[in-house]
Amino acid sequence: MTQKLSLLYLMLILGLSTICAQKEMECKTKLSLLHQDVKVKNYDKAYEPWLFVYKNCPELNRAIYADGEKILEHKIKSTKGDVKLDFINMLLELWEKRKRHFSDTTPSGEYAAKACQLLYQHKDKLQTNETALYNCFDIAFKNDSQTFTHPKSLYTYFSLIIDLFDEGKKTGSELFNSYDDINDKIDSEIQNYSEKLNAIIREFEKTGSLNKSEQNKKRAYESYLKNYTLIQNNIKALVDKRANCSNLIPLYTKDLDAYQNDSIWLKRSVSRLYHKKCTENELYEKLVRQYDEVSPSADTKLFVATVLFQKGKDEEAFKYLEEAYELETRPYKKSNMAIRIADIYKDKGRYSAARKYLLQALRLNPSNGKPHIVISQMYAKSAKDCGKDNYHKRAVFWLAAKEVKKASKVDPTLQEIANQYEANYLAKAPSKEKGFILGTIGKTIKIECWINRSIVVPD
């Protein structure tokens, strides 16, 4: 009797193994075929075989989830009503199952942000309120900010706290802390793609050409930089409308005792007061001194310099600026420091020193075209002081146009604004007829004063 039971059990096991093997083979066949349909965007045809594989062989291959995401996104776009809602929920479930079966290739921040963005996109149909949506993004960001990188999700995350702040459901501290966290994240992504783009630019400068792979990477990096810069400007505009000296000073005064040894809080507070031009209040100097004491760095030296400028101690302040630049050693950060120092020199009317730092910034981060724009602005502003006669003074605008054109060459995101500046400068430059009359067409004109550059008269 025991032998018969053992034999029966063995036959049952073999039978189940055969069935499982057959099902796995069927899943592999269906997955291979549906993948071809997905590649040509025939999502409706791919849906049924994909659903079979998804339900019966969820651990077979990661492609089930990559293809399934595309199929379900198509279904969501092409359906309505309860059917659409079913597909939305199915996509949310798919990401959860992917994380369960392929956790190593499913970054939690990236996929949690995707889920939150989907909920936000269909918030009316899902009847999800702003607080729940904000909490979704907030948890995703705080659990894994490293892979929470999509520009749209970062913007949505911040726009939600703006709405909650306007409704009185979030405090000023919460708003500004959230802004700083998200802005720091965007800065890190801009640095990441700037450094990648700089490597390709240097390769082009060295070889004079880029292969197809490098060209594709260059376009991708430029696209990311464009999007990150756009959302950074947009969230800055949102927070700037709600941040002014009258609400920042009381807020930071109240929080100072609690955060007086917190270098991150001090840095953010000082930076915001500086950029909002709240530097004349005594709290600004107090925060700067405390920041420099708690965490002396290139950053603190620059802010100390701003305090010294306010006290009329310009020469001492300039020494602090030089110290700030020398203390920063990381190329990308040093480039940004050079731009900040250049802005101060520019505001002080020291254009030659400002240009020196802007050129250093370009050397350290050649994919940033903004220094070219600033240099062109200083040239244009100096035109009336840099020429022996009206013709030579207006010739400075050719130099300004040449300089601003460089901006869009290294940074395509600046194309529109660079074109506007160039057109404005050329409109102020001497006419072609004047050049013919004076016989200067094609000749080199020396621009005197601090500019100390030459320009060939265009024909």
> Using one digit for the tens of pLDDT, what is the confidence trace for 91-146?
999 999 999 999 999 999 999 999 999 999 999 999 999 999 999 999 999 999 99
Give me the amino acid identity at 233.
N
Integer CA distances (angstroms), 220 to 10, 132, 227, 405, in order? 57, 33, 11, 22
Give me the amino acid identity at 441.
I
Q: Which helix (H) or strand (E) holds 441?
A: none
Q: Which residues span the domain enclosing 457?
A: 380-459
Domain boundary among 73, 106, 139: 106
61 and 28 belong to one structural domain: yes
* Residue at 208 is within a domain: yes
Measure the CA–CA gap between 360 and 335, rounded to whole angstroms. Answer: 7
97 and 164 belong to one structural domain: no
242 phi and psi, to 5 degrees? -115, 5
Indicate the number of domains in the chain.
Answer: 3
* Residue at 444 is within a domain: yes
Task: Answer for the pair 346, 380: CB distance below 8 angstroms, yes or no.
Answer: no
Task: Answer for the pair 284, 260: CB distance below 8 angstroms, yes or no.
Answer: no
134 and 238 belong to one structural domain: yes
* Residue at 316 is within a domain: no
What integer pLDDT is reported at residue 61 of this predicted model? 92
* Residue at 14 is within a domain: no
150 and 84 belong to one structural domain: no
75 and 155 belong to one structural domain: no
What parts of the chain have a pLDDT lower than 50? Answer: 5, 7-8, 10-17
* Residue at 371 is within a domain: no
* Residue at 304 is within a domain: no
What integer pLDDT is reported at residue 4 of this predicted model? 52
161 and 78 belong to one structural domain: no
Measure the CA–CA gap between 291 and 304, rounded to whole angstroms. Answer: 9
* Residue at 405 is within a domain: yes
* Residue at 368 is within a domain: no
What integer pLDDT is reported at residue 387 of this predicted model? 80
Residue with tokens 């075989």: 49
436 phi and psi, to 5 degrees? -65, -45
Measure the CA–CA gap between 381 and 370, rounded to whole angstroms. Answer: 17
Domain boundary among 198, 215, 243: 243
What integer pLDDT is reported at residue 332 of this predicted model? 94
Domain boundary among 209, 243, 277: 243
73 and 150 belong to one structural domain: no
Task: Answer for the pair 18, 51: CB distance below 8 angstroms, yes or no.
Answer: no
pLDDT digits (tens, 9 = 90+) for 363-400: 999 999 999 999 999 999 999 998 888 888 999 999 99
134 and 102 belong to one structural domain: no
96 and 141 belong to one structural domain: no
88 and 141 belong to one structural domain: no
100 and 156 belong to one structural domain: no
94 and 201 belong to one structural domain: no
CA Rg value for the chain: 30
